[in-house]
């Protein structure tokens, strides 16, 4: 276990280095100049050059690259070009809102997907199974940028049941969590059905039935636990989807999270902040997958991490 954990942690280094390098290059090659956005079109040329020198934007690209990674190795994520606050501090201010949205979306995902997948698996081949899979297919087909506005029109504007935007109490979380969790619940429901159906056909399930064990106990005590490996894998992968999908959802509902911060940083060509946001998202995604790998050994004693 210790060697496995050490190897996975060491693999973080090239992954994060590659992500940071790719984002650094893309940001410097796309059109737009942060100086123009900071000073406006009416600024004098001397003022622009002075600011560019202060920000180090006149240095060769390789010098900027080495300076950026040198600061990263010292734990310095840089300084936001507009707020003048440390990038890491600005990111951490937005993380709680994104985590709240991700948790709400994951609750929606699990509460919808697990019962739907189990019911479909138990009733395999019946109209219940077909109806559940049609529902899941419909959920996958609805993109966030369409579903979010439709929920706003229906539940906020037409029926006036829920607030439209911003972060607040539980009522503010419902719409964005539904928007973000619906498509993920549809995917997880199909995976749950497929995994449970396969497990219910195993020899030990037939043995348990021959001993007179109830179907409910077989389903939850034997079948579901052994079917959890692919389900947990998909949940782990969906964390990355939640982080990326939260960008669109946060923009629709004006949610003050990491996704909204990333969009505003991209629009303003705030290089250090964009790099910090992407690096944080990539690191979170890799760490979640590491946790999922460690859960495998707990869920299935036959798996040994070495």
198 and 268 belong to one structural domain: yes
Please, what is the average pLDDT of the chain?
82
Residue 37 pLDDT class (50, 70, 90 cuts)? low
Beta bridge partners of 79: 86
129 and 218 belong to one structural domain: yes
69 and 95 belong to one structural domain: no
38 and 103 belong to one structural domain: no
66 and 121 belong to one structural domain: no
Full-model pTM: 0.80
106 and 186 belong to one structural domain: yes
54 and 100 belong to one structural domain: no
Q: Range with the lowest mean pLDDT among 46-50, 175-179, 250-254?
A: 46-50
Domain boundary among 22, 41, 73: 73
pLDDT tens per residue, range 73-97: 888 888 888 888 899 999 999 889 8
Phi, psi dihedral angles at 106 (to 5 degrees): -70, -35
Contact call for residues 80 and 228 (beta carbons, < 8 A) = no
Domain count, the chain: 2
* DSSP-assigned letters across all residues of 62-79: HHHHHHHHHHHHTT---B
Domain boundary among 16, 38, 73: 73
Residue 203 pLDDT class (50, 70, 90 cuts)? confident
Tell me if 306 is assigned to some domain.
no
Tell me if 78 is assigned to some domain.
no
Tell me if 246 is assigned to some domain.
yes
Domain that holds residue 11: 2-73
CATH number at residue 292: 1.10.3720.10
Q: Please choose, from the candidates 203, 213, 234, 209, the residue with its C-alpha nearest in 3D space to the C-alpha of residue 117.
A: 234
Give the sign of the dihedral formed by CA 89, CA 92, CA 97, CA 101. positive
pLDDT tens per residue, range 211-222: 888 878 888 777
Tell me if 305 is assigned to some domain.
no
Task: Give the pLDDT confidence score for residue 244 in this predicted structure.
Answer: 64
112 and 232 belong to one structural domain: yes
């Amino acid at each position: 276990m210790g060697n496995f954990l050490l190897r996975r942690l060491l693999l973080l280094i090239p992954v994060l280095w590659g992500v940071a390098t790719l984002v650094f290059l893309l940001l410097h090659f796309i059109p737009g100049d942060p100086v123009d956005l900071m000073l406006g079109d009416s600024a004098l040329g001397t003022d622009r050059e002075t600011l560019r020198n202060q920000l180090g934007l006149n240095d060769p690209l390789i010098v900027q690259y080495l300076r950026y990674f040198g600061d990263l190795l010292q734990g310095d994520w840089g300084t936001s070009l507009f707020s003048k606050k440390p990038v890491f501090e600005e990111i951490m201010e937005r993380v709680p809102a994104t985590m709240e949205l991700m948790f709400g979306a994951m609750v929606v995902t699990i509460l919808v997907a697990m019962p739907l997948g189990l019911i479909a698996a138990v009733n395999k081949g019946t109209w219940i199974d077909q109806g559940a899979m049609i529902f899941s297919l419909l959920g996958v087909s609805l993109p966030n940028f369409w579903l979010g506005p439709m929920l706003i029109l229906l539940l906020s504007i037409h029926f006036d049941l829920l607030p439209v935007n911003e972060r607040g109490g539980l009522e503010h979380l419902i719409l964005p969590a539904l928007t973000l969790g619906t498509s993920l619940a549809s995917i997880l429901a199909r995976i749950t059905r497929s995994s449970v159906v396969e497990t219910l056909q195993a020899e030990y399930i037939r043995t348990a039935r021959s001993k007179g064990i109830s179907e409910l106990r077989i389903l939850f005590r034997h079948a579901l636990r052994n079917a959890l490996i692919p389900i947990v894998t998909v949940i782990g992968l969906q964390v990355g989807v939640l982080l990326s999908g939260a960008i669109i959802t946060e923009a629709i509902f004006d949610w003050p999270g990491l996704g909204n911060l990333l969009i505003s940083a991209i629009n303003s060509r705030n290089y250090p902040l964009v790099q910090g946001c992407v690096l944080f998202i990539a690191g979170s995604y890799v760490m979640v997958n590491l946790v999922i790998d460690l859960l495998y050994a707990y869920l299935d004693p036959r798996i040994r991490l070495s």
